[in-house]
Amino acid sequence: MAKEKVILAYSGGLDTSIIIPWLQENYDYEVIAVAADVGQGEELEPLNEKAIRTGASKIYIEDLREEFVTDFIYPTMKAGAVYEGKYLLGTSIARPLIAKRLVEIAEKEGAVAICHGCTGKGNDQVRFELTIKALAPHLKIIAPWRIWDIKSREEEIEYAQARGIDVPVTKKRPYSMDRNLWHLSHEGADLEDPWNAPKDELYMICTPPEKAPDTPTYVEIEFEKGVPVKIDGKALSPLEIMDKLNALGAANGIGIDDIVENRLVGMKSRGVYETPGGTILYAAHKELEYLTLDRATQHYKETMAVRYAELVYDGCWYTPLREAMAAFVDSTQETVTGTVRLKLYKGNCVPAGCKSPYSLYSEEFATFGEDEVYNQKDSEGFINLFGLPLKVRALMMENLKGNK
């Protein structure tokens, strides 16, 4: 009788390497590993041999980079979603994509369960599992860190050595990191004390701002319906746009954020993020919205962006509310077309020009000089009506005082 199958979210690191034999020993499953390429910059090909050697029956290595940009990064950017004013949601938007692919492969393989290596302290366990529940509620979810007896990295190494599993036992860097083509996050080690400033050697993408070039770099980004399509007049693919902006931003010290954030699981954590291209895109997109959105829509969208960011951070990508918000955002983007010029200089991303065929800015109306279109006398009636509730209340208060 064939064994039941489990799909494992696989990275080839210590955790997922020992999870393969652990699943076999505790569930007698056939383990199928899935490694997702979301632009982490690592060479994934060696994972083929490593997964099989460790006990997996097969491995899928999935290139999800373009889907990551078009279906997850762009919708979040168009929404203007920023978690707690700083975090551009780099890890948060990658997890639902990876989990979706795990579900697709589970369906293809006829698997009964999906397994992940997230710890019980982090947000990622929620993001993976909410996606699985939304897309395949019949699948069992296995989270070893919540149920096995292993309590530390040292015990993991002992477990691996006892089974002849070759895993790295040292780390060149003491930080917990997550990298994709949108960002790189750093947590742990000396960063656990919020009083400690990040060291220059922490940064693996961005040049420290004080070491960036002494002359500014200018970049022009053209958007169509809220989506970037050209850099400096040249049409590029989504991946090419990210590569270009990441390089420009990193060279100029753009995109470093240090935040003590509120995790969904109840604790605060301190993270340092490098998001060079993302920071540029957010800044450019916002400038174009200033020019093309009316006041009511712009203000409401800014309010909604806070909730949108919370949903994404909390792993609620495949929910009716997030999808409804995305539909609203897409509607607002119909006129967000045009070109934005930015000046990049030592960590700063400064607007340097914006134009759009849908611009709502009218120099004729806004000018401080003489004009033929605006009757300044009209403002008196407007102010009288706008201020009428205040006037009525003030009269009431005066009457009360007079009757005492």
> What CATH number corresponds to the domain at position 129?
3.40.50.620
Burial class (CB in 10 A: 0-12, 13-18, 19+), 198: middle
Same domain, residue pair 98 and 208: no
Classify residue 61: in a domain, yes or no: yes
Same domain, 199 and 235: yes
Examine residue 188 and state whether it is found in any structural domain, yes or no.
Answer: yes
131 is a domain residue? yes
- Round to whole Å and give the CA distance between 307 and 326: 12
Evaluated on CA atoms 359, 365, 369, 371, the torsion sign reads positive
**Torsion sign (Cα): 281, 286, 287, 291:** positive
In the listed set 162, 197, 226, which residue is the last one of a domain according to the structure?
162
Which is it for the CA torsion 201, 350, 249, 81, positive or negative?
positive
Residues 128 and 249 both lie in one domain = no
> Which residue, 199, 157, 153, 206, is CA-closest to 179?
206
- At 260-290, the pLDDT tens digits run 999 999 999 999 999 999 999 999 999 999 9
pLDDT (0 to 100) of residue 176: 85
Alpha carbon 129 to chain centroid distance?
18
Residues 27 and 90 in one domain: yes
Q: Which helix (H) or strand (E) holds 23?
A: helix 14-27
Residues spanned by the domain of 219: 176-293+336-355
Residue 5 pLDDT exceeds 70: yes
Q: What band does 46 get if pLDDT is binned at 50, 70 and 90?
A: confident
- Structural contact between residues 304 and 325, judged by C-beta atoms closer than 8 angstroms: yes
The domain boundary residue, chosen from 162, 196, 226: 162
CA angle 70-72-77, nearest 5°?
Answer: 90
Give yes or no: residues 35 and 107 share one domain: yes
The one-letter amino acid at 21: P
State residue 226's pLDDT score: 98
Evaluate whether residue 394 is within a structural domain: no
Residues 250 and 351 placed together within one structural domain of the fold = yes
pTM here? 0.93
Q: Evaluate if residue 171 carries a pLDDT over 90.
A: no
Asked, for residue 330, whether it belongs to a domain, the answer is: no
Here the CATH number for the domain that contains residue 243 is: 3.90.1260.10
Q: Is the pLDDT of residue 312 over 80?
A: yes
| Residues in binding site for L-aspartate | 119, 123-124
For the annotated catalytic residues, the residue numbers are: 15, 95, 124, 176
Within this chain, do residues 47 and 154 fall inside the same structural domain, yes or no?
yes
Detail the DSSP E strand segments found in 138-175. Answer: 140-142
CA dist 294 and 113 (Å) reads 48
Binding site per annotation, positions = 9-17, 36, 87, 92, 117, 119, 123-124, 127, 176, 185, 261, 273
- Is 19 in the same domain as 137? yes
Domain count within the chain: 2
Q: Which residues are annotated as a binding site for L-citrulline?
A: 87, 92, 123, 127, 176, 185, 261, 273
Do both 183 and 102 map to the same domain?
A: no
Same domain, 119 and 213: no
